[in-house]
Structure 1
Amino acid sequence: MTFIAAIQMVSTPVVEENIATVRRLVEQAAVSNGAQLVLLPEYWPIMGMADTDKVAVAEQPGSGIIQETMADLARTHGIWLLGGTLPLASDDPAKVVNTTLVYDPSGQQVSRYDKIHLFGFNQGDESYNESRTIVPGRHVGTVDTVAGKVGMAICYDLRFPELFRAMGPVDLIVLPAAFTYTTGEAHWELLLRARAIENQCYVLAAAQGGTHANGRRTWGHSMLVDPWGEVRAVIEEGEGIVGGLVDFGKIASVRASLPALQHRTM
């Protein structure tokens, strides 16, 4: 069994402030809670006053204070760190790639996943269009870790079950997110539990959770869901840590008693 943890934040427009928060919370998760794998939320380094703010702080792959921080945290605490998302530079100078980077306990970057599905939402005064500032990814992301085979998805990806099927059988799905309060209240837990049930694996979700300096309110409710679809741990709003055990015996038991993955015909 492996203890895993998700960090929940209310990120600000100031990268240095968010780095200080991440350092404190990751240390708590690793040292006080004993987590061997830690997941950060989407947009953890910056929730800007405008969508374009993240373009201004985008890093080139392999260099920059955000990536150096994540590598140092993984190395210092001897953990697998799945770095939520950070903005990486793209070929379009007006856009970034919204990327999860994975660091092993030596601090080496060993995997990467770029968010494929870009959020768009319009309801009354609330409107979002990520395609204005983000270039979509193209490839499914998985990585072998201390918590088994991990499938990577980001926020809006959660609504597209075909992405998770394309991962193949995994032991754990990780989902950094910044769900809006409106969509989170309606659908967040339902979708996380559905993905766990469909894929008969654990789901660990790390969210933004609170009212940000730009006025946006995110839903929070970072949680761990088990392969039977039961919520094992959850934190509602505000910064904090949520976690629990990945029990490989539980995965095997669920798949043996209800062999839905074997029964697939499409």
Structure 2
Amino acid sequence: MKRIALLQMTSGVDPAVNGDAMVSAVFAAEMGGASMLFTPEMSALLDRNRERGGAHVLPEEQNPVLDAVRSAAAKAGIWVAIGSMAVLRDDGRWANRAFVIDGSGAVVARYDKIHMFDVDLATGESWRESNAYAPGSGPVVVETPLGRLGLTVCYDLRFPALFEAYGRAGVDLIAIPAAFTVPTGQAHWHVLQRARAIEATAYVIAAAQVGKHADGRETFGHSLVIDPWGEVLLDMGGEAAGMAFAELDPARIAAVRAQVPCLANKRAIAT
């Protein structure tokens, strides 16, 4: 069995506060026996006011929160999957970027969110990620102590072709960090997460933002761990931030793939 930790956060507009919470979580995860910690989308800064938040969107190599988490990972000797952070690209655009940090503190993988959340909700909320963020170019797989990990971010959850690609790549687990809105979370969060685990016959690890945030938004929470059969192993609820642990059984992946060999049986369909 392999033990992981999930950090459910209510990130705000002060990166220093959010960073302190992430660093504390690294050491708490290590004390709890986890080999890897997973954090939500926009762990370091969640601010819908782009003029205010933009002062904290820095190039990767200048980001103090990333530096602090890397240092903590090296001291604790565990891996960390930062769900995502806003970083400034060389071309002046922003990227919603996930990071995987190994037990020496090195960044071993980066993934930029591919699908931009551009929508007007019935609640009156309006989101235009593409106004500030540039999309990523493709899937990313990284070898970790838990196995082959595929990276996604939040809205990517709704695009099955990405998860089909990860299934074809033979990943063992997929990270789906998020800051889901409450209405869409209530309607779709659990069913889509379970579907993605079943389709890829892989573990899904979905660390999430939760509660009322300093910028006025409210997120759904319910950080999840789901096994390759679609069974929910962990649900952290939608009330509060915190940390929880889950046990992953690597043998479960092969057992499910033997019982439901959909990846092996898949055929191309002409359209």
TM (normalized to structure 1)?
0.95
Q: CA deviation at 1:24?
A: 2.1
1:114 equivalent among 112, 130, 134: 112
Structure 1 gap ranges (5+) = none
1:18 corresponding residue in structure 2: 18
| Paired letter, 2:246 | G
- Give 1:171's aligned residue: 172
Tell me the residue number matched to 1:42.
41
Superposed displacement of residue 59, structure 1:
2.3
- Structure 1 position 265 matched with structure 2 position 267: yes
In the alignment, the residues of structure 1 paired with residue 229 and residue 44 of structure 2 have an alpha-carbon distance, to the nearest angstrom, of 33
Shift of 1:82: 0.8
Give me the identity figure in percent: 40
Q: Which moved more, 1:237-246 or 1:179-188?
A: 237-246
* Structure 2: gaps (5+ residues): none
Q: TM-score, normalised by structure 2?
A: 0.93
Residues 144-223 of structure 1 correspond to what in structure 2 (within 5 A)?
Answer: 144-167=143-166, 168-223=169-224
2:9 alignment counterpart: 9
Q: 2:249 is matched with which residue?
A: 247
C-alpha RMSD of matched pairs (Å): 1.3
Corresponding residue of 1:134:
133
- Secondary structure of the 1:59 match is coil
Q: CA deviation at 1:180?
A: 0.6
Tell me: CA distance 1:52–1:226, structure 2 relative to 1, closer, same or farther (3 Å): farther
CA distance in structure 2 between the partners assigned to 1:186 and 1:265 by the alignment: 31
Partners of 2:30 and 2:136 in 1: CA distance: 30
* Matches of 1:238 and 1:51, distance apart in 2: 26
Residue 88 (structure 2) aligns with = 89
Provide the secondary structure at the position in 2 that maps to 1:178.
coil
Q: Equivalent residue of 1:162, what SS?
A: helix
What CA distance in whole angstroms lies between the structure 2 residues aligned with 1:126 and 1:220? 18
What displacement does 1:154 show? 0.1
Structure 1 counterpart of 2:125, one-letter code: E
Residue identity matched to 1:15: P
Q: Deviations over 1:117-150 (max 9, x none)?
A: 0112212411111111111110211100000000
Quick check: 2:29–2:36 contact (8 Å CA) kept in 1?
no
Per the alignment, in what secondary structure is the counterpart of residue 62 of structure 2? coil
Helix, strand or coil: the match of 1:105? coil
Structure 1 contact 4–38 (Cα < 8 Å) conserved: yes
Q: How many residues align?
A: 264
Pairing of 1:50-61 with structure 2 (within 5 A): 50-61=49-60
- 2: CA distance, partners of 1:145 / 1:65: 24
Distance in 1 (alpha carbons) for counterparts of 2:91 and 2:185: 31
User: 3-state SS of the aligned residue for 1:140?
Assistant: coil
Alpha-carbon distance in 2 for matches of 1:52, 1:250: 47
